Structures are given as C-alpha cells and as structure tokens.
Amino acid sequence: MKIVTAAQMQALDRRAITEACIPSLTLMERAGAGVATALTQAFGPLQGKTVTVCCGKGNNGGDGFVVARLLKRQRVRVQVLLLAKPESLVGDARVMYRRFVRLAGASTVRTSPSAERIRTLLGNSQLIVDALLGTGLSAPVTGPYRTAIEAINDSGVSVTSVDLPSGIHADTGAVLGAAVRATLTVTFAQPKLGLYLGAGIDHAGTVRIADIGIPPSFAGSVDSRISLLTPQETRRLFPQRLPSSHKGTYGHAAIIAGSVGKTGAAAMAARAALRIGTGLVTVATPSSVNDTLEAKLLEAMTVPMPETKARTLARSGLDRLLSFVHARSAVALGPGLSTHPETVDLIQALIPRLEKPSVLDADALNALAGRTTLLTECKVPPILTPHPGEMARLEEEATPQSVNEDRIGTATRFAQRRGVLLVLKGARTVVAHPNGSVAICPTGNPGMATAGTGDVLTGMLVGLLAQGLSAWDAACAGTYLHGLAGDLAAAELGQASMTAGDVIERIPDAIRQAMSPPVAS
C-alpha cells in the first residue's frame, strides 16, 4: 500500500471528485463513517458514553461533524467543541455542521469555548475525537487551537485523531508548535508519510486506514516509491506448505554465529529460522563453544569450526566455512561473532565470496565499518539489518541521531550506493531496495528494544531466504512478521517484561494471524 504526502492525497481527492464523479460530500461522509466504525472496534459499544468531538473550521472539522452525527444516532452522549463561529464555516464543513445540528440541536455545539470551558468538558468525557487540523497544516499551531491541543493532552482521556493528529506535519511527522497525542489515528484512503516518521510515530498511536471509495487504480498511479507493509502483502509472499512436501522442500539455512559468552545469539537466530518454517538449520560456531550451543538447540544442527585463543572464529577456517555455506540454501552471518581482530579479518574475507542469499547482522556489520566497498563485490545482493548505531558506523560522518532524523533517506542512499537490501531497524523499521523502493513496517513496539530481538529477525530472514523468497520479499515479509510477533508478545506480557525468546514463541501466532483473511464486518 503506497504511503502518500499531503499533496499526493489532495490530488487523489481531486481525481476522485472530477474523474470518478464522487461528490466531495460523499467522501467526507465515508471518512466520518470510517472513524465511527473504528471507534466501536477499538473501544467497544459507546452507547450511553460521553464523547467529545473537537472540530476545527476546515474539512477536518467537517469530518468530525459526520462522526458526531453518526455517534449521536447510536445514542452516544455527544458534545462538540467548535473552535470557530458557525458562520465562519464554509463548503462541506458547513453542510456537515448543519446536518449535525438538525439531528442533535445547536445546544450540543460549544462554539469558540474558553480554555477553562474546554478543560471542563474534556475532563467529563470518556473519549475524545480530535478533528481540529488536517493534512494542510504547515505553520506552528497558536491561539485557541494550541490551547485545545494542550487541554486534550492533559485530559488523560483516550483520543482518536481524524486523518492525522492535529499539529503533526503530514509529510515529516514534525510537531508544529504543539500536537495531539492520540491513542488511535484513523487516516483516510492511503497512509500519510508523517504518521511513520519522527514525532509522528509517538503521536499517532495505533493507525487504522479507512477506505473512502477512491478507486484503487488512482492510488496505484501515485508517484510514490514508499509503501506500507500490510498483512495482505505478507500473506501473498509467505511460502505455501504443499501436501507433497518434505523438509528439503523448505531449504537448509546456514548460520555462522557465536563465540564464548555469546552462544545465545546463535541459538536465538537458529530457533527463529526454524519457527519461520525452514526445513533444516545448521549453525557453524567456534569449536570450544559448540557443545554449549548444541545443548541449547534440539532441532537445529551445529558444526564446530576452527577458533582463536579467545574462542572466536579463526581466519584459518575460511575454506571450511565457504564449503559449509556452499552446501546450504542461504546464510546468516554475524550474531555473537565478536569483534576479535582475527574474526573481523575472517568476516571481511568471507563476505565478498558468499554466493548464496545472505543476511549480514551484528558483528558482520561491525566488521564492515570503513570497508563497505566489500559489499559491491558480493555475487548475490545481501540483506543488511543494522540498528541506528550500526548504521552510523557503516555511514561515514553519520551519528545515530542523524540516522534517526532521516531514516528513509539514509537507508535509501546506502542501499542504492552499495547495491544491497537494507533493513534499518528501529521505530517503524525501514526496508530499502537498491532500485530506490522503500517499505515501512507498521508492526513492532518498544518492548522489542531488548537484547536478542535483532538475532531473532536475522533468523527469520535467513529462514525465508532458504525457503526460496527473494531478498526483497524475505526482508518485507520477515520484518512484518517479526514486528507482529513482538506485538502479540507485548499484548500478552506487557512491553517492559518482554524478552527475545518471547518474540520467538509468538512467531507461529504471527504467521497464523497474518495468513488469516480478515473477517467481513
């Protein structure tokens, strides 16, 4: 699903009105209906509850009046705060205001309320709908709108934003003076870029996309190389299990990982590769830690390799490792290998000679710092999975902060320059293709900011590569399912207590959920 800018969304709206002959009022009605439906799905039946809808004077406010009218018909106690005089409303917003007043009466609309009145009414609410400012905002929020936004955030009440949290820039995710912190954002037709960047991630809460009837062909023709990963796409990409299949059907993943004190990274990558459906998994690890790793793994196999005195992989094992990889379907390199100088030398010699689909993570990425030109020698474009700190080490003159400030740009430039698939981990992980295409992952949560979750992702990706997926498809499907498994773990355990092992255990549930077609409502 393509992610759009504010200008691209406005162009889509115009095409729907002029070419598909959909009246703008119909689009607004559908938008409001989408929000009302999402409210019930998220918060349950609202009958008898007090819901305050905060409306601005533009089209976003018009959407809010539709929501208010539809909720009123459901016997919800609705009150509207309009931050303008009714006579200042124009166009569709004015029509929707009048429709609401005809149903609910003018007394249910508080116009141009004082700051004290706003806080009182919000404090008496059980749910707030933010329909103050839409995608057209480009200047800092001031005056009554800022007062209302601050009151909404101070209320302690769950907030649902209409299309975009008020005060967030639709294209950059930046806070323009002040911005609503929503529990839920219901955006229309296509996801907006600002919901997945910067502060927009924190302010949007859970994002739901409401179909307002814009023809799919119009959305498909938008000139955007940025897309949102979806369960529908993941379902299409995931390998099918045929009745006639056997373990060899689903590939043999090679994992080169581990060192003294770091066999856990290798074990987690192997377990994740098995959980994602790989037929066979074998881990190559330093000889003296092989027994320890073997004790941690029941279904995966291990192969001891030559080691240094520090009990890390030795340079002398290069030919054996190349033979090991050659006999497998795909390879993951890096988890827990250490930064021992001889091991770094081994990694640098191994990467350009890999002739199988590969995933490079952790210490394989550390070994590439200052040597990223090695990537251009790879026979098959690898998948790299850096977190912002590792990305900063790969990029000259970059810092973790500068990487996070331009996640899409950083990932895209590196992928194109080095000819690799890049999975830039973090809040809303970015997947970048050498051709300039980018996908943003909507799954995942802060509970996954714990040791080992990156090793889990590495295992999932190499498992999908071993099963025959292309690097791009594996990166997209694996990243989505990894985040979804984390979300399922967080829902059950809470974010603070999650471990990487919890994510591994929810991979089957994530697959089952992603593979299940949505139930028609």
pLDDT value for 119: 95
The pLDDT tens digits for 274-296 are 999 999 999 999 999 999 999 99
The pLDDT tens digits for 218-270 are 999 999 999 999 999 999 999 999 999 999 999 999 999 999 999 999 999 99
Query: Helices then strands (H, E): number in the chain?
Result: 21, 17
Helices 507-515/263-275 angle, 10° precision? 30
Task: Show the beta-strand stretches assigned E in 225-292.
Answer: 226-228, 252-256, 280-286
Identify the sign of the CA torsion 225, 229, 231, 235: positive
The pLDDT tens digits for 458-493 are 999 999 999 999 999 999 999 999 999 999 999 999
Cβ neighbourhood burial of 138 (10 Å; 0-12, 13-18, 19+): exposed
Q: Is the pLDDT of residue 63 over 80?
A: yes
d(CA 118, CA 305): 69
Average pLDDT over residues 145-154: 97
The pLDDT tens digits for 394-453 are 998 899 999 999 999 999 999 999 999 999 999 999 999 999 999 999 999 999 999 999
pLDDT value for 511: 97
Identify the sign of the CA torsion 432, 437, 440, 441: negative
Return the closest-CA partner of residue 221 out of 11, 405, 65.
11
pLDDT value for 183: 97
The pLDDT tens digits for 118-129 are 999 999 999 999
Average pLDDT over residues 60-84: 97
What is the pLDDT confidence band of residue 145, given thresholds at 50, 70 and 90? very high
What is the pLDDT confidence band of residue 517, given thresholds at 50, 70 and 90? confident
Share of the chain above pLDDT 70, in %: 99
Q: Which domains does the chain have, with CATH numbers?
A: 6-224 (3.40.50.10260), 234-515 (3.40.1190.20)
pLDDT value for 521: 47
pLDDT value for 519: 59
Average pLDDT over residues 108-119: 94
Reduced to 3 states (helix: H, G, I; strand: E, B; else coil), residue 94 is helix
Cβ neighbourhood burial of 161 (10 Å; 0-12, 13-18, 19+): buried
* 353: DSSP letter: G
pLDDT value for 396: 83
Q: Of all helices (H) and strands (E), which one includes residue 23?
A: none
Q: Is the pLDDT of residue 298 over 50?
A: yes
What does pLDDT average to over the chain?
A: 96
CB-CB neighbours of 404 under 10 Å: 17
Q: Is the pLDDT of residue 209 over 90?
A: yes
- Which tokens is 25 given? 């009022």
d(CA 265, CA 259): 9
The pLDDT tens digits for 301-357 are 999 999 999 999 999 999 999 999 999 999 999 999 999 999 999 999 999 999 999
- Which tokens is 357 given? 């689909």
The pLDDT tens digits for 380-405 are 999 999 999 999 999 988 999 999 99
Q: Is the pLDDT of residue 520 over 60?
A: no
The pLDDT tens digits for 14-27 are 999 999 999 999 99
Average pLDDT over residues 28-34: 98
Which amino acid is residue 463, in one-letter code?
G
Return the closest-CA partner of residue 476 out of 490, 466, 465, 487.
465
The pLDDT tens digits for 497-510 are 999 999 999 999 99
- Which tokens is 216 given? 């799919």
CB-CB neighbours of 136 under 10 Å: 14
Average pLDDT over residues 127-149: 96
d(CA 179, CA 192): 16
Burial 452-470 (b: 16+ CB within 10 A, else e): bbbbbbbbbbbbbbbbebe
pLDDT value for 224: 94
Runs of H (alpha helix) within 171-246 = 198-204, 216-220, 231-237
pTM here is 0.94
